[in-house]
Amino acid sequence: MNLEITPPRALKGITRVPGDKSISHRAAMLGALAEGETQIENFLMGADCLATVKCLESMGVTFTGPDENGRLTVHGRGPAGLKEPENVLDAGNSGTTMRLMLGILAGLPFFTVITGDASLRRRPMKRVTAPLSQMGARIWGRQEANLAPLAVQGGELQGGNFSLPVASAQVKSALLLAGLSARGETRVTEPAPSRDHTERMLQYFGAEISQKERTVWIKGGQVLGGRRVVVPGDISSAAFLLVAAAVVPGSDVTVREVGVNPTRDGILEVLRAMGADLEISNYHQLGGEPVADVRVRYSRLRGVTIGGELIPRLIDEIPILAVAGALGEGELVVRDAGELKVKESNRIATVVEELRKFGAEVEALDDGLRVQGGRPLTGALCASHGDHRIAMAMAVAGLAARGRTVIQDAGCVDVSFPGFAGILSSLRVD
């Protein structure tokens, strides 16, 4: 499927975005591990989260819905309610599904094989399989259990102390989920704070989990109870609309009930520093997560330099930030973001390749990007590289470029933001 974009006169309106991808995955998984019903409102019905649901269903977990109010129900029967699947589990394009499921599978007394699409089969899994093996799971795969397909023989695990070489919420979460079923305590220390949705949700589901500075720890053998979860709008999806409003002259867009968890809101901080006209209001809590309405009006942006601990707080927003940088004045520099190379695509390479097609001046760095703003962009024929965030970032570039832009193979947008094209159309003023 191709996505065709032409520049509008402006973008205006009030909208919502689909539920947060990270939180939706966790709600489905914790709901499956819990005893009793979990009702999830605003669950992201995108391909990634549906892959998580399918994996859990293959292990005997029952899901019903979504009902007419968009409520998905998980009928949890505790970890013992999960059974050995008869077939290979398919995580599709989803790193979160594979890494978090590995954490769960490690502690379950059966054999499983899990795989994914071509992109996921290239992504590094040793970062989870190595510590899970240390806890007692047996895991096999190419390159010493680095590449899927992975085969897991789970069983009794022993907690431990883990110091992560990269700030990764997926690795931290896999170890906490394994720790939930392990003997003793599992402690995870991160080099920089990554998103803490797993910690918040474990607590919300009744588990005791502690944190001091960069270390989080959990005692094994705790029982979770089903809950009602309301999933906030995904800030990583909202980011495309917020940047679009910031770069298309005359725009004024509000996105309602966006998750503004401080481990995820780096994009707001950086857009402000770039001179965006940003208004955040109506702060409140939704099931243990902070949300707010975010309004952006067009203004002239200027480049900034970012790196360090800010990076995990906006890691998924770097492709769209690069677009904002190309459309602003001055230079945008991103450092300390080598992790971009092992996302759904090598996002350093794909951002550079695609933005250059618009006439932007972009340079790949070993651990990030340099974007020189101030050049007018011209519509381009872009490839998505099968990466949902590359497809959407380039679509936004197309909104602010002269002429027509076509994003080829844009079906991947449904991985995280089903309805993206429809929402953009609804905001257009032509």
Site string for ligand S3P, 13-42 (x = CB under 6 A): ---------x--------------------
Q: Which one of residues 117, 190, 196, 316 is an interface residue with ligand S3P (CB under 6 A)?
A: 316
Among positions 315, 371, 415, 423, the unique one binding ligand S3P when judged by CB under 6 A: 315
Query: Residue 155 phi/psi, 5° resolution?
Result: 170, -155
CB of 221 to ligand S3P, least distance (A): 24
CB of 270 to ligand S3P, least distance (A): 16
Phi and psi at residue 174, to the nearest 5°: -60, -40
Query: Considering the complex, what minimum distance in angstroms separates the CB of residue 190 from ligand S3P?
Result: 10
Q: Which is nearer to ligand S3P, 49 or 286 (CB)?
A: 49
Task: Please tell me whether residue 119 binds ligand S3P under the rule CB under 6 A.
Answer: no
Residue 180, classed as helix, strand or coil, is helix
| Per CB under 6 A, 128 contacts ligand S3P | no
Give the containing element (helix H, strand E) for 138.
Answer: strand 138-141
Active site residue 316: yes
Stretch that binds ligand S3P, among 111-119, 167-175, 255-263, 396-404 (CB under 6 A): 167-175
Region binding ligand S3P by CB under 6 A among candidate stretches 69-77, 164-172, 247-255, 277-285 = 164-172
* 274: nearest Cα among 313, 317, 323, 332: 332
Helix, strand, coil percentages, rounded to 5, for the chain: 35, 30, 35
Provide the H-helix boundaries in 274-386: 318-327, 347-357
Q: List the one residue from 72, 91, 152, 169 that touches ligand S3P (CB under 6 A).
A: 169
| CB within 8 Å of 329: residues ≥ 6 apart | 300, 301, 302, 303, 373, 374
Q: By CB under 6 A, is residue 168 in contact with ligand S3P?
A: yes
Q: Smallest gap, in angstroms, from Cβ of residue 370 to ligand S3P? A: 22
Among the listed residues 117, 316, 387, 414, the single catalytic one is 316
Helix 266-273 / helix 318-327 crossing angle, nearest 10 deg = 10
Residues 87-116 that bind ligand S3P (CB under 6 A): 96
Please state, in angstroms and rounded to a whole number, the distance separating the CA atoms of residues 252 and 54.
39
Lookup: tokens for 67: 């009902």
C-alpha neighbours within 13 Å on the C-beta side of residue 400: 32
For residue 165, give both structure tokens.
């070489």
What residues make contact with ligand S3P under the rule CB under 6 A? 22, 96, 168-170, 173, 194-195, 315-316, 339
* Active site amino acids: 316
